[in-house]
Amino acid sequence: MAKRFRDDRGRLLELRGECLRCGMCCRMDCPYLRFVANRPIKEGEVLSRMGKGQAMMTSCAADPKPGYCSDFPSSPGETKAGCGYSWVEVG
């Protein structure tokens, strides 16, 4: 079942999309956050973006994921710009 959220104006929103594994929602002090290279990284190379299709992406070493992470995003306010998830009005 899709994740749904009712906003303060009464709109019913549904979560769509998939995680791009960019790491923007992860806390940098999380002990489970891992960075994975998708291709060989050159010495001195500057990486400006991360995620699927980029040079690097993030991975979670926890199994199962901690409660907050497995429930993310739980509202539109937690979804950052460029996130693979989006909220669509359904009713």
Rg (CA), the chain: 15
Q: What is the largest CA-CA distance in the chain?
A: 52
**CA-to-CA distance for 60 and 19, rounded, in angstroms?**
12
pLDDT given at position 12: 96
- For residue 68, report the phi and psi dihedrals to the nearest 5 degrees: -60, -45
Task: Give the model confidence (pLDDT) of 9-39 as tens digits.
Answer: 999 999 999 989 888 887 767 888 899 999 9
**Domain positions in the chain:** 4-89
Long-range contacts of 27-31 (CB under 8 A, 24+ apart): none
Supply the pTM of this predicted model: 0.72
